[in-house]
Structure 1
Amino acid sequence: MNIDDLGWQARTLGGLSPRNVGFLLEHGHLDLVIQAAVERGEWFCATGAAEELCRAGEFNRALEVVEPFVTIGWRAALWAKADILLQAGRTEVALDLVRLDEVGRASKAECHDFAVLLVKAGRVDEAIDLLVRHVDGWWRLSVLVEVTEGQGRDEQVLELIAPHADAVRRARGEDRWNQSFWTAQELQAQVLERAGRPDEAIRILGRDITAGHCFSQGTLTAYAELLARHGRLAELRELSTGEHAHTVLDIYAGALRDHGRAAEAEAVMRNAIAADDWTGYRAWLSTTLLADGRLDDAIAVAEPGFGAYDCSNLLWPLVAPLLDRPEELLYLVEHPSVVPHYGHEEFQHWWRAWALAGLGRIDEAIAVAEADPSPWTDLGIVKAHLLSAAGRHEAAAAELRSLGTIKARKELLEVLVRHGRAVEAMALHPTAAEERTAEQERKPVPMGENGYSLEPPF
């Protein structure tokens, strides 16, 4: 274990990923996670185990887990240690461990983390002072808003935000776009709202929208959501029927549903589609109809976009909620109006195979996967997934074992843990070092003009 190895783990989620660590902890395997952290230098095991131990009040054990990483100089481990010390009530030791220099050289991440630590220690004024001294743009200003929520400092924060929000307004009034605090207006409205002054937030932000003194679509969205939260439906309707319809009509329709006016929301969106057949309108209405259990209606609305490319394709938003509802998923992918996903036709094979497997029709599922003319990943791993979805976990494990690849060994973990074989799963899971070595030895694959691989996995 060294800094370079830990940096690779952090960048690539290599070794035991946060997801797998969480899965192991959920199934009660804290000791195995600690063992992997200590013996294999698995960073995500160390952080996951430390968090679990702190929840149980075992702060000394948590410190023991992260200390080897601190010793070699891994900066993230130093911050993890400080957080453990703080939770253990050793406030001064924790703060001294990671205290920032006084000359403003702290990185954005360190500034954020130290401010959060100060707030946890009850030193809110020190956190505000730190952030004010380091504020150089929208991100640190947003951190100031984040860490002071619920701390009784809203009026102070509003005073600090006001000059930046005014500077943004002046810049837009002069048709200038070089403003580093470009989110200041919506942050100002956010703090006004949480301070119990929503009407003032609505008035100020509405005036900015009308005058065209905003830098981003996010400010418009923030204003629409503010109106929705406070039941200002008439103003929201007016905003959504003009030039901003593509941005806020879905917020208006959602607000109508929240107020028990679902039929009216549907009519609003159907009228919008009739007048301006924009994909965004169809996406909102089709997914909403699906959420209401109206699959046929959802298909009818989304069908014109089924063959489009990537973000404009309306098939995936219907598929995603049905992945654990195999009967409905099969109905969707076998519907006459469904066409292959442009540029990603292989997914239609995977979706149909997944639905069949979920219904226990495993032989048909595997046949569909094998018929895929351009498989998107290793067929053996696909088979294992299908076998697992059909409840045939032993067969899935056997398939993965027979492959013997790094990826197959990683996939094997969940299958074995679910069947009480966590020790075996950990023994078979590749170490971070193995995985990194395999990645370095992998032969380069030919790339297309778009920068993507021409060979699976794509």
Structure 2
Amino acid sequence: MSMDDLAWQASNFGGLPPRRVDLLLEHGHLDLVIQAAAERSEWFCAKGAVEELCRTGKFAQALKVMEPFVATGWPAAVWAKADILLRAGRPQEALDLVRSDEAGRTSKAECHDFAELLVRAGHVDEAIELLAPHIDGWWTLSVLVKITAGQERDEQVLELIAPHAGSARQARGESRWNHPFSNAQELQAQVLERAGHVDEAIRILGQDIAGGHYLTQNTLTAYARLLAHHGRFDELRELATGQDAHTVLDIYAGALRDHGRAEEAEAVMRNAIAADDWVGYRAWLSSVLLGDGRLDDAIAVAEPGFGWYDCSNLLAPLVYPLLDRPEELLHLVEHPSVVPHYDHEEFQHWWRAFALAGLGHVDEAIAVAEAHPDPWTDLRIVKAGLLSTAGHLDAAAAELRALGTIKAREELFEVLISQEQAAEAIAVHPTVAEQRATEPKPKPEPDPLLEPVSLSEDGYSLEPPF
């Protein structure tokens, strides 16, 4: 185990990634997860095991699992240990483990993390004192607001926010679009709201919006959500039907639904589509209709956007919620308006293949994949996936075992878990070392001093740098 391997795992979801660790824990295999953490130096196994152990109050065992990782000196493991100590009721040990003097605290993220730990340990004033001198932009200000929620320090936090909110109000008129506290006004409103000053929060932020004294769209949406949260429908309707409708009409419609006025919300959005056929309106309404179980209505709303390009294409947002509902998915992808579009043609084929497999039509599904191989790097893995989706687990496992590649072994893990063969699943899963060994090696940069240079007739270089 080394810091380099652990950092690689964390940044690349290497080894057994979180989803597969969760799968093991869901099937009751905590002991195997602990064993994999110890024997294979699996970082996500260690994290998953620690979380499960802490949840059940087994803090000593959690510390034992984490200790080999801490011994490497990797900061993430040290902070994980501090979290265990804090949850175990040993706050001073947790703070002492990660505390550093001001000269040694070079990372802003570390400063934020330590402030949060201080609050969790009950040292709220010390946390505020730590952050206050370092409020030089939106990030630290956001952290301050977050960690002080429910800590009875709202008036103190408001005093710290006030000058930055005032400066942000003036910035737009001065064309200072890169103002470092562009979120200060919405944070001010958030703290006022949680302190019980709702009317004041709405009044102040409303004046900012009406006067155009704000910098980002987030401030506008924060105001709309504030109105929605407190049922201020008249103000919200006026905002949502004005020049900012594209930004906040969905918030208004969502608020209507949240208050039992779903038919009114649908009418609002259909009227907006009739007046201004903007893709955002269709996207919102089709998604809501699908969530209500009205697939055909959702298709009818989204259909004009099935041929639009890239992120404006409205087909994918309907497909993904249906991936575990194969009958409805097949109904969607076989709709006459669902046609290949530019370089998105391959999506339709894998959607249809997995829908067919989910309905048990595995031979037809495999035929679709074989007829349209472009989106897949290895059709044998695709075939195994379709077999597994159709419930033919033994056949899928046989295909993957025969293939034996790193990717095949990763997929085999999932099949074996479904077959209640967790120990074998972990054993066949590639190790971190195996995964790293398959990474493409970066090509060495050529030394410009050793490379031949083409020259023009007058002696000047024809290649950069000129």
Pairwise same-fold verdict (TM > 0.5)? yes
Q: Aligned ranges for residues 20-419 of structure 1 at < 5 Å?
A: 20-103=20-103, 105-419=105-419
Worse-superposed segment, 310-319 or 42-51: 42-51
* Aligned-partner residue type, residue 347 of structure 2: F
* Structure 2 unaligned blocks of 5 or more: 445-466
Deviations 1:341-396 (A, max 9, x none): 44221111111111111111111111111111513342122222221221111222
Q: Which residue of 2 aligns with 1:448?
A: none
Tell me, what secondary structure is at the counterpart of 1:344? helix
Flag the structure with more relative contact order, 1 or 2, with Cα contacts below 8 A and sequence separation at least 6: 1
Which structure has the greater CA radius of gyration?
2
CA RMSD between the two structures: 1.7
Shift of 1:261: 2.2
> Aligned partners of 1:136, 1:399: CA distance in 2, in Å?
57
* Aligned-partner residue type, residue 61 of structure 2: R
> Aligned partners of 1:117, 1:390: CA distance in 2, in Å?
48
> Aligned partners of 2:442, 2:349: CA distance in 1, in Å?
28
Tell me, what secondary structure is at the counterpart of 1:97? helix
Shift of 1:334: 0.5
Percent identity over paired residues: 76
Query: Would you say the 8 A contact 2:171–2:215 is kept in 1?
Result: no
Worse-superposed segment, 102-111 or 56-65: 102-111
Shift of 1:442: 9.7
> Aligned partners of 1:39, 1:66: CA distance in 2, in Å?
13
Shift of 1:147: 0.8
> Aligned partners of 1:89, 1:351: CA distance in 2, in Å?
50
* Structure 1 unaligned blocks of 5 or more: 445-458
Q: How many residues align?
A: 444
> Aligned partners of 1:402, 1:344: CA distance in 2, in Å?
32
The answer to whether the aligner puts 1:9 opposite 2:3 as a matched pair is: no
Provide closer, same or farther for how the CA distance between residues 267 and 278 of structure 1 changes in structure 2, counting only shifts above 3 A.
Answer: same
Query: Would you say the 8 A contact 1:341–1:347 is kept in 2?
Result: no
Shift of 1:18: 1.3
Shift of 1:249: 0.8
> Aligned partners of 2:387, 2:197: CA distance in 1, in Å?
56
> Aligned partners of 1:277, 1:409: CA distance in 2, in Å?
48
* Aligned-partner residue type, residue 289 of structure 2: L
Tell me, what secondary structure is at the counterpart of 1:24? helix
> Aligned partners of 1:391, 1:443: CA distance in 2, in Å?
43
* Aligned-partner residue type, residue 8 of structure 1: W
* Aligned-partner residue type, residue 154 of structure 1: D
Tell me, what secondary structure is at the counterpart of 1:385? helix
Moved over 6 A (4+): none
TM-score normalised by structure 1 residue count: 0.93
Q: Which residue of 2 aligns with 1:451?
A: none
* Aligned-partner residue type, residue 332 of structure 2: L
* Aligned-partner residue type, residue 78 of structure 1: V
* Aligned-partner residue type, residue 432 of structure 2: A
> Aligned partners of 1:266, 1:218: CA distance in 2, in Å?
24
Query: Would you say the 8 A contact 1:104–1:134 is kept in 2?
Result: no
Tell me, what secondary structure is at the counterpart of 2:354? helix
Worse-superposed segment, 213-222 or 260-269: 260-269
Query: Would you say the 8 A contact 1:315–1:341 is kept in 2?
Result: no
TM-score normalised by structure 2 residue count: 0.92
Shift of 1:89: 2.0
> Aligned partners of 1:296, 1:394: CA distance in 2, in Å?
37
Shift of 1:173: 2.9
Query: Would you say the 8 A contact 1:346–1:376 is kept in 2?
Result: no
Shift of 1:436: 0.5
Provide closer, same or farther for how the CA distance between residues 203 and 316 of structure 1 changes in structure 2, counting only shifts above 3 A.
Answer: same
Query: Would you say the 8 A contact 1:307–1:342 is kept in 2?
Result: no
* Aligned-partner residue type, residue 299 of structure 2: I
